[in-house]
Structure 1
Amino acid sequence: MADPAAGRPFKKVLIVGAGPSGLLLAVLLSQHGIPVHILEASHELDQQPRAAHYGPPAIPELARAGIMDILEKNGGMRLNSMYWRNFSDHTQIAGFDGSVLKDAGNVETTLTEDLRTACLPMQDLDALLLNLFVTKYNGQVSWRHRVTKVDQNEKSAWAEIEVLAGDLDLTKATVSETLRIEADYVVGCDGANSIVRRSLFGDDYPGKTWDAQIIATNTYYDFAGKFGFNDANFIIHPEHFFMAAKITADGLYRVTYGETPGLTREEYVERQPWKFETMLPGHPKPDEYKIINFSPYKMHQRCATSFRVGRVLLAADAAHLCNPWGGLGITGGFVDVGGLADCFIGIWDGRAEESILDLYSEKRIEKWKTIIDPISSENFRRVSDADPTTRLGRDEWMQLCKKAEGDVAYTKELLMGFMDVRYDFTQHYTK
């Protein structure tokens, strides 16, 4: 069999982390014939409730990976209406109808004109991406390969690995052997606690952790049928703020809410029925809803000082973090790997110099600082506002949403502004 890397500027990319961003990058590179090897410490995909909404800027990347063609056939859906609501009676304050993006026109790609937010639980999206990578592109994933360090020289980069055995719990597993796997480039897509980033910068991850506790649940409750809720709803309150957004066509909602910081997981579980009865419409008792997943977590706003050091690169949560209100974390991560894929493809095809990887770092950091960080921060301040009754009068974005009501053209123009989080690296191809 012919060597796919024969005559190419490099031979292989090593990706650390079989999460959504690592899998999407692997598919995009494999489509172009670039050999990819994924290393994952766990024995399976992460099953915890995480992001489930992928905003308009991420849709072109999911479309070219082939995901949008199969999303709805696998339980996914598109999200249209999004509104902020009062806590007292859950009435609408302001919002928008995202269905105007169903025909957004050609945006950087001929693969899709429908830029509406896509919805699918992360573990299901991961499974689709993994299936594409392994079955369609014969991709290589090494499970239970825990990376302990990444290093490099002028000619290659490598990961030092512990191969795990025994207990499936990573904290209890034993090490059966140690390995060193080399490639031309190593990309860290290994999340907020990235060992790849730590290999480059130690514990330095500039930014802050919010003084707030968030609980994410996947919950069946008839928000739409009984209470007229929209596809995505953000209830503003300093203590009982929450989001209720559809994530599957059969009525599963992501219900994410604020809690008192500093309690144990057991205490949060014990308090959950009281929280739901207090904050949800209809004040339901536990027998009126069904919780599928429950996951407490902290929120962060952080960005690495560089997304490239020589042959080692960072993307998504390994490179930057933001709070989840508005979905800019996963959306920004997918836009990262789409841009990074274009950079690698340009180098592979001889159409770009290796210096385009420096541009990747520069531009993606710029987008985090100027768009992702300020907008996501304001999204959280909005939903947890101390004086919800006056928020509309102080909120430029909500006022723009009110102005756009009933005006399709203006609503589309407003929502297309989110595409600014993207950056077209192909414009820097030299040939």
Structure 2
Amino acid sequence: MTAPSSAPPPLSETDVLVVGAGPTGLMAGLVLARRGVHALVVDQKPGPTRESRAIVVRARSMEILDQLGLADAVLVAAQPALRVQIRGGARPVRADFSRRQQDDTPFPGAQIFEQSRTETLLAETLAAEGAPVAYGHRLVSLTPGPAREGAVPRADAAPGPGGSPARAPDAPADPSFEDAAGVEALLEGPDGPQRVRARYLIGADGASSPVRHLLGLGFEGVTDDATFCVADLHGVEGAPENALSTAFGRERFALLFPLGPGGHARLIWLHGQTQPDQEEALAGARADLGIRYREVACFSAYRVHHRVATHFRRGPVLLAGDAAHVHSPVGGQGMNTGLQDAHHLAHLLADITQGRLAETALARYEAERRPVALILIRVTDRAFGLIVRPGRGTAFLRRRARDVLAVLALRVLASRAGPYLAGLLGQYRNHYHPVPEGRLLPRWAQDAGFFRAMFDYSFQHFMTVRFSSFLYVLAFVVAGLYWLAQIRTGLLMGFALGADMWTGEQGFNPVPLILAILFGWVPSVILLIGLRLGLEFAVATVRTAQNTARLADAANPGRGIA
């Protein structure tokens, strides 16, 4: 009889371990892969989620997807939402917020693209990059790595097998994570346990985040007393295909999101403080909101949490997405904020692991992204929370809010405040506090060809270094040849005019001189000024393209952006 083996689980190493393969974790993994950073994305679920869950992709998220070359895939499959329709009065009022976004983003409006399809798109792209998601792998515990160089040893952490104690997700916080130079994760997968050693770990494992519990970080906030209901409906009467609709009843408030033709829509509404079953909830929506539909595809009811982690980082472990902040789904901002968390953090980690930034720069992540989460909760959730609270006074306020919104929506969007409000909805007006010193890196998009780069004034695309360098050299050659031609022509014309003016039998004749000035020298000067401006443009283009290429080369290892 063979004795059971006591050998430790196999060990692998990576630069970044991403726990959680929702939209946030997949975005982080894909950006890291494009930047040439070795990353492993793991999740205990068997594959991409099949539920629609989050469905709205905002303008800023579309810009990020465009940088990864995925925007067109979303646009082809998504249902656009360009307007907001306010229902409940004598007639619906429609406000087109996409028009106020057209000058600020190449993706005005919102795209209705379910989370299931977002996850599938990102996971397939990540697999094509040679970094497939390790589904079916559950995080069991974490072991902080050895203390960073220069860190003060802590007396309150007993050393474990790797120099620091292994921590299970339900264990109290371990202060040694703060000074750890990396982590070691124990995973349970289809082939048994395995260990993964990583320089950094991203916890993108959802609202109940085991990583956050492991770090001992608080999740401050409240759980709303109201119950929200969500139903995917077919054959909804009066549901516009390209607009988000609001509906105000005596006791309920609802949002209707278009999912496709034929009245296919998602209804999110406040039911009250009780936990209803499907029939009870839908009957109330029909009676109070006047919603009529043919069939129900799915239904769920839940309480809404408004919470933010006390910190987004502890040492080499960082939180992103729902693991760091959760809030009401009404504004359609949750998945978008997670995608932007991941995009921000992945680029930052890539710069650090590749030596472009010092590790101290990692403090920027919490300093910049946590205020965004706090503002989102304060503005969006509390504003809607005021409307959804029960009581006669709030019911009166809901009816007045409908009337006020119907009057003000068009006026505000048409005013100077319209672009600002539209920018908040699109999430491209998030601003970070400036740093004392630093350079602004150009935004980069995967090369889309010369003509799109040349004539796209959104500045999301740039021409390649090779082509802009060709323009640069060509402009110099043309300018040099033209200068030589003008010098030769000027000398010959000068000699001819001089001979004609001073030796001609007719005496001095100013006509050749005037003609030479008007049709020779003046156009020459104008053309040379134009060439000079063209050269300056070419130089600026080359510099921009060179800066951009540094990102693009790193983002496409092995392919380059010649």
Gaps of 5+ in 2: 1-12, 146-179, 442-562
| Among candidates 66, 81, 94, match of residue 63 of structure 1 | 66
1:329-348 aligned at under 5 Å gives the runs 329-348=334-353
Q: Is the 8 A contact 1:211 1:261 kept in 2?
A: yes
Report what 1:5 is aligned to: none
Report what 2:7 is aligned to: none
1:268 Cα deviation from its structure 2 partner: 1.2
Q: Is the 8 A contact 1:158 1:186 kept in 2?
A: no
Report what 1:145 is aligned to: 137
Over 3 Å counting, the alpha-carbon distance change for 1:227 and 1:207 in structure 2 is closer
Report what 1:130 is aligned to: 123
The answer to whether structure 1 residue 324 and structure 2 residue 329 are counterparts is: yes
Report what 1:7 is aligned to: none
Report what 2:542 is aligned to: none
Report what 2:205 is aligned to: 190
Over 3 Å counting, the alpha-carbon distance change for 1:422 and 1:324 in structure 2 is farther
1:233 Cα deviation from its structure 2 partner: 1.1
Report what 1:389 is aligned to: 399
Count of matched residue pairs: 387
1:152-163 aligned at under 5 Å gives the runs 152-153=144-145, 154-163=180-189
Q: Is the 8 A contact 1:148 1:161 kept in 2?
A: yes
Distance 1:323 1:341 in 2: 26
The answer to whether structure 1 residue 244 and structure 2 residue 243 are counterparts is: no
Report what 2:493 is aligned to: none
Question: Larger % of strand: which?
Answer: 1
Report the TM-score when normalising by structure 1.
0.80
Q: Is the 8 A contact 2:14 2:196 kept in 1?
A: no
Report the TM-score when normalising by structure 2.
0.63
Report what 1:114 is aligned to: 107
Structure of higher RCO (CA pairs closer than 8 Å, 6+ residues apart)? 1
1:424 Cα deviation from its structure 2 partner: 9.0
Q: Is the 8 A contact 1:339 1:424 kept in 2?
A: no
Deviations 1:149-179 (CA, angstroms, capped at 9, x unpaired): 3342233212222225xxxxxxxxxxx7322
Report what 2:41 is aligned to: 38
| Among candidates 412, 415, 418, match of residue 419 of structure 2 | 412
1:56 Cα deviation from its structure 2 partner: 2.6
Which stretch of the first structure deviates more once superposed, 306-315 or 229-238? 229-238
1:423 Cα deviation from its structure 2 partner: 4.3
Question: Larger % of helix: which?
Answer: 2
SS of 1:420's partner is coil
SS of 1:44's partner is coil
Which stretch of the first structure deviates more once superposed, 37-46 or 416-425? 416-425
Q: Is the 8 A contact 2:21 2:43 kept in 1?
A: yes
Distance 2:266 2:111 in 1: 14
Gaps of 5+ in 1: 1-9, 107-112, 165-175
Distance 1:77 1:422 in 2: 28
Letter in 2 for 1:356: A
Over 3 Å counting, the alpha-carbon distance change for 1:11 and 1:182 in structure 2 is closer
Q: Which has the larger radius of gyration?
A: 2
Letter in 1 for 2:134: S
Distance 2:14 2:219 in 1: 31
Deviations 1:125-167 (CA, angstroms, capped at 9, x unpaired): 11111111112x1113211111133342233212222225xxx
Distance 1:404 1:178 in 2: 58
Over 3 Å counting, the alpha-carbon distance change for 1:430 and 1:259 in structure 2 is closer
Distance 1:317 1:241 in 2: 25
The answer to whether structure 1 residue 299 and structure 2 residue 313 are counterparts is: no
SS of 2:395's partner is coil
Over 3 Å counting, the alpha-carbon distance change for 1:290 and 1:313 in structure 2 is same
Distance 2:439 2:323 in 1: 26
Over 3 Å counting, the alpha-carbon distance change for 1:279 and 1:64 in structure 2 is farther
Distance 2:90 2:337 in 1: 30
1:290 Cα deviation from its structure 2 partner: 2.4
The answer to whether structure 1 residue 258 and structure 2 residue 270 are counterparts is: yes
Distance 1:116 1:104 in 2: 12
| Among candidates 371, 376, 380, match of residue 375 of structure 1 | 380
Report what 1:275 is aligned to: 284
Over 3 Å counting, the alpha-carbon distance change for 1:61 and 1:28 in structure 2 is same
1:86-97 aligned at under 5 Å gives the runs 86=88, 89=89, 91-92=91-92, 96-97=95-96
Q: Is the 8 A contact 2:247 2:289 kept in 1?
A: no
Report what 1:209 is aligned to: 223
Over 3 Å counting, the alpha-carbon distance change for 1:118 and 1:428 in structure 2 is farther
Distance 1:334 1:374 in 2: 20
Letter in 1 for 2:264: L
Over 3 Å counting, the alpha-carbon distance change for 1:258 and 1:30 in structure 2 is same
Distance 1:100 1:159 in 2: 48
Deviations 1:169-212 (CA, angstroms, capped at 9, x unpaired): xxxxxxx732221111110111000011111016x311110001
Which stretch of the first structure deviates more once superposed, 207-216 or 245-254? 245-254
1:225-244 aligned at under 5 Å gives the runs 226=238, 231-237=243-249, 239-244=251-256
Distance 1:105 1:300 in 2: 32
1:351 Cα deviation from its structure 2 partner: 2.6
Over 3 Å counting, the alpha-carbon distance change for 1:238 and 1:59 in structure 2 is farther
Over 3 Å counting, the alpha-carbon distance change for 1:307 and 1:235 in structure 2 is same
SS of 2:72's partner is coil
Identity percentage of aligned residues: 22
Letter in 2 for 1:274: A
Report what 1:85 is aligned to: 87
Deviations 1:225-254 (CA, angstroms, capped at 9, x unpaired): x46686111212463221111134564311
The answer to whether structure 1 residue 14 and structure 2 residue 22 are counterparts is: no
1:378 Cα deviation from its structure 2 partner: 0.6
SS of 1:351's partner is coil
Report what 2:501 is aligned to: none
Q: Is the 8 A contact 2:243 2:257 kept in 1?
A: yes
